[in-house]
Chain A
Amino acid sequence: MSATDVPARPGGVLALDATMRKEESLAKLAWRRFRRHRMAMVGALILLGLVLYIIVGSLVFSEADANYNDVTRRYLAPGGAFLFGTDEIGRDVLARTIYGGQISLVIGVVAALISVVVGTLTGALAGYYGGLLDSVLMRITEAMLTIPQIFLLLVMAKFFGNRIGDVQVLGRTFSGSVIVIVLIIGATSWMYLARIVRSTYLSLREQEFVTAAHCIGVSTPRIIFGHILPNAMAPIIVAATLGVAGAIITEAYISFLGLGVRAPTATWGSMMQGATSAVIQGHWWLWFFPGLMIVLTTLGINFIGDGLRDALDPHSIR
């Protein structure tokens, strides 16, 4: 549903709003609604704070600080020189939450992007073409949904395990496991979006504007991506946002279980690997701070996702 056909509804969204101009695009409308969404703004502030934390933090500490170990200073409680304490080999937990945060956020964003691209493509092709292609793609989707994601992830993490060596990006060395994790999270989280996009395409392809585009000779790829896709953007944007939070939590799961990102690269999840013994020994700062970072991030993203859902909903009256 595009913004221009809304005024036709008497007493609908636009009629209520005196400040609204006729030509306001859906994006502008959504942005205005989003700004008025209190929870979403709180979420955006939380996220902004976290991004500042990992950017300003990386100016204060170098990555070498984050990976520097010294067993003479192991298990120091928070306070003094180490605000968040030190871990089992004397690494600074504060510095590691900063650099781990960078990797966690990158993993979240890239994995969500992969899953959105795969999900949208699958859903769009299945929904638009229907027939054999649809049944094949949907059977694959169904099969992927049948195995709970965590089991599939663990098996795939093992499968791709150590096949990628360390990578150099911008003068920094990352464990190749980061790439593996990003790929497998992306590859195991696209199914719900594919189903939503498919159903949107199924209904949209029968509409007049698609027939009209066909008649004036618009090419099929152009119809799929240029004409129908913009009308299916709302659920895709919401899924992309929430997908970032989901990917960060998922990464934490597999890293916690010891199959995720490997040393020397830190992530919030891998910092908590083996945390059960830290709990029993009372070294709470080892797992508390990285976990808190994850909670704040996902909370912020979930708030924003909620706000986007309301803002992009054509039926909402705010």
Chain B
Amino acid sequence: MGRYLVRRLLQTIPLLLFVSVILFVLMNNIGDPLATMGGRERLRSEDRERLARQLGLDQPVYMQYIYWLIGNDWMTFDMDGDGEPETAGNRRGVLRGDLGMSMVERRPVSEIIGQRIPNTLILMIPAEIVIVVVSLAIGMMSALKQYSFLDHFFTSLSFITYSMPVFWLGLMLMFVFSVNFKTWGLPYLPTLGMYDPGADKTIFELIRHMILPVTTIAAISVAAYSRYIRSNMLEVIHSDYVRTARSKGLHEQLVVWRHAFKNAALPLVTLIGLDLPFLLAGALVTESIFQWPGMGRLFLHHLDRADYPVLMGILMLVSVMVVLFQILTDITYTWLDPRIRYA
């Protein structure tokens, strides 16, 4: 197991390097980070040259990549434009934990991203909990009461939800529970942001603002997973060992929850681990609808201004998360299902 883990971790190194090269090349052409630096006025061409030089944008792409990756504090650069390299580089590179500086905000990327990570986690973790609890509840109930009214109801509902773009669901929820409930005089939910402007930043306020975004992120996964749990449970409940448990006179509750449930629900672990990219996509769009100040909106905002150090930081963080979750999923699975072993 230990050797397996080491091998998997070593394999991720070339993978992540490859990913970073692809992304970096794409980054270099997504727009002009200098375009908005003059404020309302257009930059004079000598200012543009000076800024490009100071930000290192005058270097060829592969040199920019090398500086981004391993830093440039071992070189000197020509900052004042007299052709003489005199200023020492100050970047340590991603490999030494330096994500660089944002080009439009002049703050370290790690600081900018670090401020937003908690806000995104505030949405993602409750969403994951909702996904697991609700899809287990619906899936188990549909399987145990197969072909009942509720089973048909949830089947139809999950088919429809699964066919929706996430953002359309978010718009509908916002329209019904914020806009219409307000006009009907019912207790309504807030539309945008994490806190109402001017209101106290209480935990209650935060929860009120979280309800709609969390529902939006969770809904589509719930639709898919509840179907999955249902069909798994139906398969398990007709298997030989469940029949054996029943025929030796075990209590039905015990058969269902102790014997069948575990085997039907365990594959959910793999799904959740491997579906992280989809969940992140949902979170990105959801943050954009509800104007939630998380990583997704940060990404969109800096994409607009072609601020590549921030974009690279976010994308590499996401890629590392995806890869780690894949490994974690595989390991959890060997622990949950002792029949699977990795050498």
The finding on whether chains A and B are genuine partners in a shared complex, rather than unrelated, reads yes
- Whether the Cβ atoms of B19 and A147 lie closer than 8 Å is yes
> B150 within 8 Å of A by Cβ?
no
Complex CA–CA separation, A287 to B18 (angstroms): 40
Hey, what's the 0/1 contact readout for A284-304 against B, CB within 8 Å counting as 1?
Answer: 100110010011001100110
B165 touching A151 by the CB < 8 A rule?
Answer: no
Decide: A148 and B277 in contact? CB cutoff 8 A.
yes
**Alpha-carbon distance between A140 and B18 when the two chains are bound, in angstroms:** 8
Secondary structure at chain A's binding surface: helix, strand, loop or mixed? Answer: helix
- A256 sits at the interface (CB 8 A): yes
B171 touches A279 (CB 8 A): yes
Is the beta-carbon distance between B323 and A252 smaller than 8 angstroms? Answer: no
- The answer for the CA separation of A9 and B20 in the assembled complex, in Å, is 52
Q: Which of B22, B31, B191 is within 8 Å of A280, CB to CB?
A: B191
A-B contacts, 28 listed (Cβ < 8 Å): A139-B14, A145-B322, A146-B19, A146-B319, A146-B322, A147-B19, A147-B318, A148-B277, A149-B277, A149-B281, A150-B280, A150-B281, A150-B285, A151-B281, A151-B284, A151-B318, A155-B27, A155-B30, A158-B30, A161-B30, A256-B288, A257-B285, A280-B178, A280-B191, A282-B179, A287-B168, A295-B160, A302-B162
A146–B315 Cα gap in the complex (Å)? 10
> B14 contacts which chain A residues (CB < 8 A)?
139
Closest chain B CB from A158 CB (angstroms):
4
Closest to A249 in B: B165
What A residues does B166 contact at CB under 8 A?
253
Q: Does B291 interact with chain A (Cβ within 8 Å)?
A: yes
Complex formed: what's the CA distance from A279 to B177 in Å?
A: 11
Given pairs A253-B281, A298-B163, A303-B159, 6 additional interface contacts (CB within 8 A): A147-B315, A148-B277, A252-B167, A256-B165, A279-B178, A280-B192
User: Does B29 touch A at the CB level, under 8 Å?
Assistant: yes
Q: B255 on the interface (CB 8 Å rule)?
A: no
- Chain B residues with Cβ below 8 Å from A280 are 174, 178-179, 191-192
A158 and B168 within 8 A (CB): no
B137 at the binding interface (Cβ < 8 Å): no
Partner of B165 from the list A149, A253, A299, A303 (CB cut-off 8 Å) is A253
Count of chain B residues near A, Cβ 8 A: 51
CB distance from B108 to the nearest CB of A (A): 21
B-facing mask of A147-173, CB < 8 A → 1, else 0? 111110011101101000000000000
Known: A147-B319, A150-B285. A291 touches B168 (CB 8 A): yes
B26 within 8 A of A: yes
Q: In whole angstroms, what is the CA distance A161 to B319 when docked? A: 24
Q: Decide yes or no whether A25 CB sits under 8 A from chain B.
A: no
Q: How far, in Å, is B290 (CB) from chain A's closest CB?
A: 8
| Pair A256/B319 contact, Cβ less than 8 Å | no
Shortest A304–chain B CB gap in Å is: 12
- B175 lies within 8 A of A159 (CB): no
A294 neighbours in B (Cβ, 8 Å): 164-165, 168
- Chain B min CB distance to A278 (Å): 8
Binding site for B on A (CB under 8 A): 139-140, 142-143, 145-151, 154-156, 158-159, 161, 245, 249, 252-253, 256-257, 269, 272, 275-276, 279-280, 282, 284, 287-288, 291, 294-295, 298-299, 302-303
B121 to chain A, nearest CB (A): 17
Please give me the 8 A-B residue pairs with the lowest Cβ-Cβ distance, nearest first. A148-B277, A291-B168, A150-B281, A158-B30, A298-B163, A299-B163, A252-B165, A146-B319
**Contact B18–A245 (Cβ < 8 Å):** no
Known: A139-B18, A282-B179. A302 touches B159 (CB 8 A): yes
Q: Among the listed A140, A142, A302, which residue makes an inter-chain contact with B163, where contact means beta carbons less than 8 Å apart?
A: A302
Q: Which residues of B contact A154 (CB under 8 A)?
A: 299-300, 303
Within B243-268, the residues touching A (CB, 8 Å) are none
In the complex, the answer to whether A148 meets B168 with C-beta atoms within 8 Å is no
Partner of A148, one of B171, B172, B306, B322: B322
If the complex has contacts A154-B300, A158-B30, A279-B175, are A143 and B167 also in contact, measured as CB distance less than 8 A?
no
A166 to B175, CA, bound (A): 36
Given contacts A147-B319, A149-B277, A287-B171, contact A155 B179 (CB under 8 A): no
CA distance A145 to B274 in the complex (A): 10
In the bound complex, CA of A275 to CA of B160 (Å): 21
| Bound Cα distance A288, B318 (Å) | 32
Question: Shortest distance in angstroms between B123's beta carbon and chain A's nearest beta carbon?
Answer: 16
B117 in the interface (beta carbon within 8 A) = no
Given A150-B285, A276-B171, are A143 and B18 also a contact pair (CB < 8 Å)? yes
B298 to chain A, nearest CB (A): 12
List residues of chain B with CB within 8 A of the CB of A288.
172
Asked if B289 lies at the interface with its beta carbon under 8 angstroms from chain A, I say yes
A294 to B291 alpha-carbon distance, docked (Å): 24
Contacts of A245 in B (CB 8 A): 163
Residues of A within 8 A of B303 (CB): 154-155, 158
A256-B163 in contact (CB<8A)? no
Quick check: A272 and B289 within 8 Å, CB to CB?
A: no
